[in-house]
A and B are shown apart, each in its own frame.
Chain A
Amino acid sequence: MGLIISAVVIGGGLLWILYLSIKGQDVDRRIVYLFVGATVALAIIFRLEFGEVATPIVKSVFDKIENLPAGSKIVLSYDFDPAMAPEVNPMANAFIRHILEKKHRLFFMSLWATGQSLLSVSLNDVLKPEFPDAKYGVDYCNLGYKAGNEGVLNVVITNFRKMFPSDANGNSLDSLPMFKDVESLKDMDLLISVGGGKPGVKEWVLFAGDPGKIATAGGSAAVSTPLLYPYWPRQLIGLLGGTKGAAEYEAELIKTHPRFKDKGMPALRMMGPQTMAHVVIIAFIVIGNVAYFRSRRKGKQS
């Protein structure tokens, strides 16, 4: 029902704009903004959702985590700020759920100052309520933020303790059981960086994954994703690009581990409004081109 109402309202509006364009009237850009806003709002109110299927570039990350033996060591780095959080936070939360569900050891860290607080939010909102049996220092630990960008990676690729003498709570790394057999990043089975700026996935590939020959995966904001495609599949085992990538991962997670179905997957919810907005933008591009070619033809005729 919501889809029908949205289609009628938005479709009707688009047809009206097409009519104005054909008549040669200019359409104020504020009308375009209003349309996009209204489309997104309607889609959110009517909770429009569409199914997602994981593409190979996303599935490869999922399969890697799914097939690692229990107890594998995985680093998850929060390299983003609140501006990127709506896009990449769902990815990070999906990774937390998947990794702990498979009983792997999760090492949190951050190369962005703002990443540490967003990491705390994930720990409080996702990890602790959904995995009450997960023990700090045994199943997961939080190393916190370290300033130095790629300089941090240059150090931790040979020695963790030199850069992180203690974790974010002040505990010495040697006091954490999960660090018993961990000397450096090279002892990790998988590195995952979630972010979209610098330092981000590219720096993890350049300074950790590639030189240390460690499997690396990424979750990136949509803006930075095209620049990371050249690294797949050799230097990056997989990449989640923007909300679409996050939604695909969540869909795969629900398919394989149905207990997460009721956990309110935000990326899957966002793809409905996203899709509707894209349809409206495509329609505007078509309308704009129709108006352009009509005016060019009129100009030639006159």
Chain B
Amino acid sequence: MKYIILLFLTCLSLCLSQAILAQTASSDPPAEAALVPSEPPAPPGNLTLKDLPNDDGHGIAVKWDLSPDDGAGAKSVISYDIYRSLSPDAPDSLWKKAGTVVLGVKSYADKGNRESDNDDYLPKKTNLYYRVYAVGAGVRSVAAAAGPVQAYDNWFNTLKVPELIFCVVFLILTVRFINMAKRGIDLYVRPLAGIEAIDEAIGRATEMGKPILYCLGIGTAGDIATIASFTILGRVARKVAEYQTSMIVPCIDPIVMTIAQETVKAGYADAGRPDAYKEDSVYYVTSQQFPYVAAVNGTIIREKPATNIYLGYFLAESLLLAETGVMAGSIQIAGTDQVSQLPFFVVACDYTLLGEELYAASAYLGREPLLLGTLKAQDYLKAIALVCIFALLALRVFTGADVIHKPFDMPWW
């Protein structure tokens, strides 16, 4: 609980600091320009130069005070021209125009090119000099000059501090919970309806004397959904061995097939019935999506399994499989992290594990410290997000001001 409070306070202070930054940042409205003047406008003042932060070393931030004739005085300023050179005494022809901004603007980010043969090349770690002119209609002021300044590449991108904070928070939570799980502390995971139905479904298959079909989807051994499905496969294999019924596991990937064979064999061994394991119950079909579906559909129609379990990574074939299972009269339990396929499983199957529930099921059944720890860390991160959204929205409602419009998008410099 204290972790939640600590992290909530961290997030709240983070967001409030952004709120303060948002309130203090302001932009002056642009002034109006006058008609054709007879004299050049007054130059801008207090020209300051510094390295542009969060870049690769080819940028300079140029800032100045507005010309007295910008929106006031003679009101003759239309724009500002910014020039750059390698020497303060270079002739005018060697001063490169870096950019132009309209009246009322007090800064310019000069982002030059990285390639030395480019016209707009801005070298790093080299002395650079700048001139800023206030430009009127056909005339321009005396230059405000400054320099030298050097551009450096930065090791750290301060705009990504929110990501860093969240990564650190998540890392702390994950390590903490994995250690707790390793020490044997019971980490509660709520029961999931789909997983509880598996035992019942296996019992039904035993009564009917029909096999169980377990489909791992069309993912590879590297897909998270497939990895989660392996854990559940092991549990199902153990139950199948205990109940002395049979199972069919068609695979789309040879590596997945290899791992599935080992998992099922281990499940049978855990149940004390290694002799009952049949090598050809876990087999490779094809690596193509729709031929695989055609083969599995054929198996469902011929073998008429009592229970179909679809857990893993599925795409468009999900509805084809589920509908064929309905025609065969099987109980169907499905789960995938592909949000676009969940509606089809929900419609056609008896139980569906939605998205993250598949990973939770894997942690719930396997009770491995790594799985449990990451699941709990994700839960706490969700809780932080919930609390942040609720608290900051409440703040917005009661203060009435739109001060937290983009709390995580403000620049940190």
Residues of A within 8 A of B (CB): 159, 183, 223-224, 226-227
Contact = CB atoms under 8 A, between A and B. Distances in A.
A224 B340 contact: yes
B340 A227 contact: yes
Contacts of B113: 183
Contacts of B339: 226-227
User: Which 5 A-B pairs have CB atoms at the shortest separation, nearest pair first?
Assistant: A223-B340, A227-B339, A227-B340, A183-B113, A224-B340
A183 B56 CA distance: 15
Contacts of A224: 340
Nearest to A181: B120
Contacts of A223: 340
Given A226-B340, A227-B339, 6 more contacts: A159-B114, A183-B113, A223-B340, A224-B340, A226-B339, A227-B340
A159 B118 CA distance: 13
A183 B340 CA distance: 37
A204 to B, nearest CB: 18
8 contacts: A159-B114, A183-B113, A223-B340, A224-B340, A226-B339, A226-B340, A227-B339, A227-B340
A223 B316 CA distance: 10
Nearest to A225: B340
Interface string B111-136: 00110000000000000000000000
A2 B114 CA distance: 64
A125 B339 CA distance: 36
Interface in B312-365: 339-340
Contacts of B340: 223-224, 226-227
Contacts, number: 8
A60 B108 CA distance: 30
Contacts of A183: 113
Interface residues of chain B: helix, strand, loop or mixed (majority): loop
**Main DSSP-derived SS at the A contact region:** loop
A176 to B, nearest CB: 16
Contacts of A227: 339-340
Nearest to B114: A159
Contacts of A226: 339-340
Nearest to B56: A158
Nearest to A224: B340
Nearest to A234: B406
A224 B339 CA distance: 10
Nearest to B339: A227
Nearest to B159: A211
Nearest to A223: B340
A183 B122 CA distance: 14
Contacts of A159: 114
A183 B339 CA distance: 37
A226 B340 CA distance: 8
Contacts of B114: 159
Interface in B153-170: none
A227 to B, nearest CB: 6
A212 to B, nearest CB: 12
Nearest to B327: A29
Interface string B85-120: 000000000000000000000000000011000000
A81 to B, nearest CB: 13
Interface string B58-83: 00000000000000000000000000
A224 to B, nearest CB: 7
A122 B113 CA distance: 35
B413 to A, nearest CB: 16
B339 to A, nearest CB: 6
A284 B339 CA distance: 26
A183 B115 CA distance: 11
B318 to A, nearest CB: 12
A187 to B, nearest CB: 10
B335 to A, nearest CB: 18
B293 to A, nearest CB: 16
A159 B115 CA distance: 11
B238 to A, nearest CB: 36
Interface string B206-234: 00000000000000000000000000000
**Residue among A183, A226, A227 having the largest count of chain B Cβ atoms under 10 Å:** A183
Nearest to B323: A29
A183 B120 CA distance: 11
A273 B339 CA distance: 28
Nearest to B341: A223
Nearest to A197: B315
A269 to B, nearest CB: 26
A165 to B, nearest CB: 13
Nearest to B316: A223
A273 to B, nearest CB: 22
A227 B114 CA distance: 38
Interface string B26-45: 00000000000000000000
Nearest to B160: A211
Nearest to A213: B409
B154 to A, nearest CB: 15
B161 to A, nearest CB: 15
A224 B340 CA distance: 7
A55 B231 CA distance: 46
A253 B371 CA distance: 52
A159 B58 CA distance: 14
A297 B50 CA distance: 80
Nearest to B343: A226
A84 to B, nearest CB: 12
A159 B340 CA distance: 34
A284 to B, nearest CB: 14
A226 B343 CA distance: 12
A171 B59 CA distance: 30
B109 to A, nearest CB: 12
Nearest to B118: A183
